[in-house]
Structure 1
């Protein structure tokens, strides 16, 4: 394990020139007749590509580099992360994890709103500036262990709060369940789903209805995951060669999964500004990490069997895409559930979409626990 080294993002002039050349040469295709609804259209993709061409990356790069970033060897693997310490002793510490298709950068709006916290925002192995594990799968168990080692051994925190979304939701649960002595509390906007066998045991009709709804939409809405799990390299070959294709693949999910009105893809920008969408695409493009970001899908990241129940204090905030998630399921898994609330706003990318609301709730939850322990 190495001491963290300062890290700065830098895209070379040659790479920027190559990117612009490729974007200018984009061959746009008209929308298919009678196509199924999706979060991407030819018109919106044209807007995004034009904006990417016009983006002042040097200015954006400087904005990102204003956050203290580091690279450290954790369990023999290199890990990139943002680490910003609060300017007071005794501040709560929060681990903020991302999922797919976002990166650490999409979580930085939350960092800005929690200056009274010690904040750690890692790039998962294989995403952005963290190389993939050299050997073995990018599994949820392994990710949980890497995150815990980063927090406790590399950065030296005796305890911390944890938050995760999407790919990191199960990692979030595993961290809290596995190391309860070092986890002060867990914040979840993607609450525990459980295995199919586990879901069959719930007696609450609301739980049955919720999981039936999720299953019904998985077919038409889950095609991306099936492709990433079964033909990852073929897909990555196309996305790694075409910035417009990469942008379409990423932005479609940002549109579909955010809490925005259906019909107009640009509505996503009411929640996630266009510059932030382009930043996500730029990080994947520059680091050539789209292929390795698929690894949790095709390597079978799901932890076999049931994740042990979480015994540490928990705050569950139900985002709009899971508005009907039953409280009974949360109480069955999070055994010390202190907060259960259904959010009025915010979708899949909750920390990015409603950072003010989430920062306030996280602060209230953490402070209530600190008062109880005083």
Structure 2
């Protein structure tokens, strides 16, 4: 983030026609369902096609469901469910420890018990990448396949045991960047309420905290934050800030960082998987994916699109999802 771009965004937010944007968002079908005692918000885009495959699409931090909607609308031959994770935007916080395993159970129960889907496909980004892996590993009889742009990394202990030179080089690079680039996660995981008090008190501070990560993690050239808008429109950036500001949910969005601690190992995924590595993990080795996704149907690397892949390159990701579903005989 730099002062010039932040000033530009703040001015734009001041003049933002929220009611027009609100009307656009309300054109979709929004619901809140009680799932294990938590009110979970989701958008449900039903296909007109009989027997359409169901697809669960999950966001991470700091994005919300709205960054996934353009991608969802490009898949009219699917029933697409785009939830807000507990404690994000319009979903209530979970009354308990908010771990990845808990999120996986809640999302699975939303799909099966609440919406009645016997089987479904799954996709997740950031925090929900592990959630998507967990769903596929824990409920293989319900998951028809998993598409991943953030393929499985393993725990620190699992990484340390790797003897594959390509994997070691990749994990060493992650470790080297984790210190200088990981301050946000450290403070969110150790002093979340102190940080949230400041962000809930300052719209400009909240916008800076969110937009910095959209810039840094997207496929945006270093030192040119305004070029974020080639990938994620200003309207969508300001909508993210507006959601967090209006719902005062920045504190509860930090819960996965504070509650998770050292993640537990995730069992290998046995269901069909397609992996398309996003640009910020361009050197992720195929060998690591093949070791974890035991029925890997395809592996390649996105030419464009970073951490927020379905928001940045929605048409490309929709094509990949459709091709994957066809390979599983779920689409003609």
- CA drift of 1:203 comes to 2.3
The CA RMSD over aligned residues, in Å, is: 1.1
The counterpart of 2:293, out of the listed 305, 311, 334, is: 334
- CA drift of 1:302 comes to 4.8
Are the equivalent residues in 2 in contact too, given 1:258–1:353 (CA < 8 A)?
yes
**Gapped runs of 5+ residues in structure 2?**
none
* Residue 195 of structure 2 is aligned to residue 235 of structure 1: yes
Q: CA–CA distance in 2 between the matches of 1:131 and 1:281?
A: 18
> Deviation digits for residues 173-210 of structure 1, max 9, x if unmatched?
00000000000000100000001121123222000000
Q: CA–CA distance in 2 between the matches of 1:90 and 1:204?
A: 43
> Deviation digits for residues 151-184 of structure 1, max 9, x if unmatched?
0010000100000000101100000000000000
The list of structure 1 runs, each at least 4 consecutive aligned residues, that deviate by more than 3 angstroms after superposition, is none
Q: CA–CA distance in 2 between the matches of 1:100 and 1:327?
A: 26
* Residue 78 of structure 2 is aligned to residue 109 of structure 1: no
1:289-328 matches, within 5 Å, as 289-300=249-260, 302-304=262-264, 306-328=265-287
User: Which residue number in structure 1 is paired with residue 321 of structure 2?
Assistant: 362
* Residue 34 of structure 2 is aligned to residue 73 of structure 1: yes
> Deviation digits for residues 297-338 of structure 1, max 9, x if unmatched?
11125532x210000000001000000000000000000000
Deviates more, 1:153-162 or 1:201-210: 201-210
User: Which residue number in structure 2 is paired with residue 156 of structure 1?
Assistant: 116
User: Which residue number in structure 2 is paired with residue 287 of structure 1?
Assistant: 247
**Gapped runs of 5+ residues in structure 1?**
1-39
Q: CA–CA distance in 1 between the matches of 2:120 and 2:80?
A: 10
* Residue 278 of structure 2 is aligned to residue 345 of structure 1: no
Are the equivalent residues in 2 in contact too, given 1:141–1:303 (CA < 8 A)?
no
The counterpart of 2:93, out of the listed 125, 129, 132, is: 132
> Deviation digits for residues 116-158 of structure 1, max 9, x if unmatched?
1100000000000001012x11111110000000000100001
SS in 2 for 1:299: helix
Count of aligned residue pairs for this structure pair: 332
TM-score (ref. length: structure 2) = 0.98
TM-score (ref. length: structure 1) = 0.87
